[in-house]
Chains A and B, each alone.
Chain A
Amino acid sequence: MNDIAHLIQLLTVLLLAVFVGFEVISKVPTTLHTPLMSATNAIHGIVFIGAIVVVGTLFAGPTSPMLTVISVAALTLGAINVFGGFAVTERMLQMFKKKEGPRS
């Protein structure tokens, strides 16, 4: 029954993270909602780590060309999220300025 205990532990983490998420995100002003969405795009790029883990077990044994292609696809998609998400958020947030700031 160790499995069940472990599952409950993971569910606890999930629950707490959901509550923290609601708390933190509800403070974000409407003016920043677009950068918020692109920042969360970057954060769900964490699937890249999921891809690393799976590739690690997959490539330890014999693989097929199809699985190799799917692996590279998963890694690429995750990397797009991480790099693209942060870069576009940074680009947007640079534009939010106070009062008549100097023009760039």
Chain B
Amino acid sequence: MTVALSLANLVAVALFIYGLHQLNSPPTARAGNQLAMVGMAIALVSSLLQTQGVGWWAILVGVILGGTIGIVAALRVKMTAMPQMVALYNGAGGAAAAAISTLEFFVLASGNGENAVVSVSLVLSAIIGCLSFAGSIIAFLKLQELMTGRPITYPGQQIVNGLILLTILGLAGWFVVTLGTMPVLAFVGLLICALLLGVLFVLPIGGADMPVVISLLNSFTGLAVAVTGFEINSTLLIICGALVGASGTLLTVMMGKAMNRPLTNVLFGAFGSGGGSEPAAGSGGPQQIRSAGADDVAIMLAYASKVIFVPGYGMAVAQAQHSVKALADQLEKRGVQVLYAIHPVAGRMPGHMNVLLAESNVPYEQLLDMEDANPEFSTTDVALVIGANDVTNPAARSVKSSPIYGMPILDVDKAANVIVLKRSMRSGFAGIDNPLYEMPNTSMLFGDAKASVDALTSAVKAL
């Protein structure tokens, strides 16, 4: 490694860290991303100059193919589909790390064995990379609704996973003891087991827990990259992997806190698979539900002084973000103060709702976190819940027996009036009745979220 390359890497790392630092506020975030881009360009170019042309055509093919796929996908993807996109990118990083380890295995297996550090990091990077890749693919399939978003469980699931994990550990031990000179077939078996475990560990995790899973897979990929750095003796990879791993871990912890559930419960609890409280579809009997028409709600909104919108996954599914902004514009024209209250786990990934609302030109100052939003509800005339359910369920505060008891929620019930936009009376993901719907200050507006919001907008306009 030459001095020039080391220096270039140093500059790149500084730009990555400062770029991430700039993400601490929306006005500087874009500059931060661009600084990170410059850092990446410096790192890539200086590494390419070191290759002296060996394998140049493979690198060229990779850049052209990967660059085209990456950029086309980035420009085409719908904002509502960001969780799937990020899942795929996590998977790509994991797969790349595993592929590098596989190549390294073949390079070094033909020699006389490696040193202990390289063999340990090689096998770890292969395992974590495969886990992250396979897990991300399953997460993608669930988010894209190519397979059911409900948890998939079967008897003895944990035992099967445990046995696979033991097999992986056994093979990995063999690999390390022989310093990486184990038979090719055994190494392939190791990769297959790791892939299988990745699939099996995401299968029982339900759709609403996806924010946790995506964050966790993000940290796995970071870890795989960091370990790859040990394998090929690159501090650049170690640092970048560590940054990504820290980010993913931090987000995982935040999401877990926002659901008041330990990580183990998210991963192994198969939450929302039914358990004792099957969705009470129709079984609730005559609940005291008041249903309102769009015209009544429009009047309520138009003559309010403060309205808070509470978006959830339902808004993303209905692609209603632009309609929501149009309604907000109409209300603001009439002097109504409009705010948005966003629960940390609303949607399918951290910050999902914020990006959707940003897409429809909602200024970010109007987007409130849970901590900032909750004190506002008591002085709010109307809270308009758009496709959110469990994150507004007051049972989390008071009903000790509720599965979501203790989960921090948005206190929409403190508002003078609550309007809930909902497709039907089906329970939310957790399959729990929401007492909010039976409260005297709550009215339901049934229908598709986008259609309902559009109806409200035209009703307000007509006033």
Contact = CB atoms under 8 A, between A and B. Distances in A.
Interface of A: 3, 7, 10, 13-14, 17-18, 20-22, 24-60, 67-68, 70-101, 103
Contacts of A31: 26, 342, 351, 354, 358, 364, 367, 369
A77 B236 contact: no
Contacts of A91: 74-75
Closest 4 CB pairs of A and B: A79-B66, A75-B62, A21-B246, A84-B70
Most chain B Cβ neighbours within 10 Å, of A20, A35, A40:
A40
Interface stretch (B100-108, B295-303, B390-398): B100-108
Tell me if A's interface is mostly helix, strand, loop or mixed.
helix
B66 A76 contact: yes
B250 interface: yes
Given A37-B349, A92-B355, A100-B363, A77 B92 contact: yes
B376 interface: no
Contacts of A100: 363
Contacts of A90: 30, 33-34, 37
Interface string B41-68: 0011001101100110011011101110
B232 A50 contact: yes
B358 A103 contact: no
A35 B234 contact: no
Interface in B200-255: 214-215, 218, 221-222, 225-226, 228-251
Given A41-B89, A54-B100, A77-B96, A88 B242 contact: no
B235 A35 contact: no
A82 B70 contact: yes
A86 B38 CA distance: 11
B351 A51 contact: no
Given A50-B237, A56-B51, A75-B63, A42 B36 contact: yes
Interface stretch (B14-22, B269-277, B428-436): B14-22
Interface residues of B, number: 108
B54 A56 contact: yes
12 contacts: A27-B24, A29-B24, A40-B244, A42-B36, A44-B244, A45-B40, A49-B44, A51-B99, A74-B62, A81-B70, A85-B89, A98-B365
Given A75-B61, A78-B62, A88-B77, A50 B100 contact: yes
Contacts of A99: 363, 365
B165 interface: no
B355 A101 contact: no
Contacts of B75: 87, 91
A67 B16 CA distance: 32
B352 A3 contact: no
A34 B58 contact: no
A70 B103 contact: yes
Contact of A80 (B20, B55, B92, B247): B92
A86 B367 contact: no
B115 interface: yes
Contact of A54 (B20, B107, B239, B354): B107
Contacts of B73: 80, 84, 88
A36 B365 CA distance: 18
Contacts of B248: 37, 40
Contacts of A85: 70, 74, 89
Contact of B240 (A27, A46, A68, A97): A46
Given A68-B58, A86-B40, A28 B107 contact: no
B149 interface: no
Nearest to A20: B17
Given A38-B86, A88-B77, A43 B36 contact: yes
Most buried by A among B90, B96, B243, B245: B96
